């Protein structure tokens, strides 16, 4: 059963070094995404699924 969800944009918007030209303009967005994921994690779910870019083997950098 789905209890909660958050939709956040993928990089390059969330990586200041990649979105250097708009880094300052996106600070609020980054903070909102961090807060959203923090709220999900604070609920201490049995399973927290994060969908995003991954390498061919299915692993990402985190």
Per the CB < 8 A criterion, the answer to whether 6 and 42 are in contact is: no
Task: With respect to residue 11, please indicate whether it lies within any of the assigned structural domains.
Answer: yes
Asked if residue 57 is part of any domain, the answer here is: no
DSSP state of 28: H
What's the pLDDT band for 32 if we cut at 50, 70, 90?
very high
| pTM of the predicted structure, to 2 decimals | 0.66
Does residue 60 register a pLDDT over 70?
Answer: no
Provide the pLDDT for residue 13.
Answer: 74
What is the pLDDT, as a whole number, of residue 54?
A: 65
Alpha helices by DSSP H, listed for the chain, are: 27-42
* Segments forming the whole domain that contains residue 20: 1-52
Is 61 inside any structural domain? Answer: no
Number of domains the chain contains: 1
């Amino acid at each position: 059963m789905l209890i909660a969800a958050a939709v956040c944009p993928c990089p390059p918007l969330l990586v200041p070094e990649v979105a250097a030209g708009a880094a300052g303009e996106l600070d609020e967005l980054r903070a909102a995404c961090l807060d959203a994921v923090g709220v999900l994690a604070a609920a201490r779910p049995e399973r927290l699924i994060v969908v995003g870019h991954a390498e061919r083997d299915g692993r990402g950098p985190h």
